[in-house]
């Protein structure tokens, strides 16, 4: 991620204080300190696996789309 490398460059090479980096990026000081201490190349967020609300209807929707694709341009539903 570009932001992580920019934060490291500002702090280590340009000697910009963490508070100034906070003002420039809008991130909290704790987050900036965490990024500076970590060895990660890019930030990864944990996204929980959740089932979609459309999963029970996926087969029927796919069938409808297949049928609509076979129709002519003026006969298709676009919504």
Q: What is the DSSP letter of 54?
A: T
Phi-psi region of 10 (alpha: psi -120 to 50; beta: other; left: phi over 0): alpha
pLDDT given for residue 79 in this prediction: 65
pLDDT given for residue 75 in this prediction: 80
Six-digit token string for 67: 């049928």
The model scores a pTM over 0.75? no
Show Cβ contacts of residue 76 under 8 Å, excluding neighbours closer than 6 positions. 68, 69
| CA–CA separation, 26 and 29 (whole Å) | 9
Render pLDDT for 4-40 as a digit per residue (tens, 0 to 9). 889 999 999 999 999 999 999 999 999 999 989 987 7
Q: 3 falls in which pLDDT band (50, 70, 90)?
A: confident
């Amino acid at each position: 991620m570009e932001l992580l490398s920019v934060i490291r460059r500002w702090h280590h090479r340009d000697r910009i204080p963490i508070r100034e980096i906070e003002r420039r990026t809008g991130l909290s000081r704790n987050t900036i300190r965490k990024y500076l201490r970590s060895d990660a190349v890019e930030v990864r967020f944990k996204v929980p696996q959740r089932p979609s609300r459309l999963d029970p209807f996926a087969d029927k929707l796919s069938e409808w789309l297949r049928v609509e694709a076979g129709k002519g341009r003026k006969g298709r539903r676009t919504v």
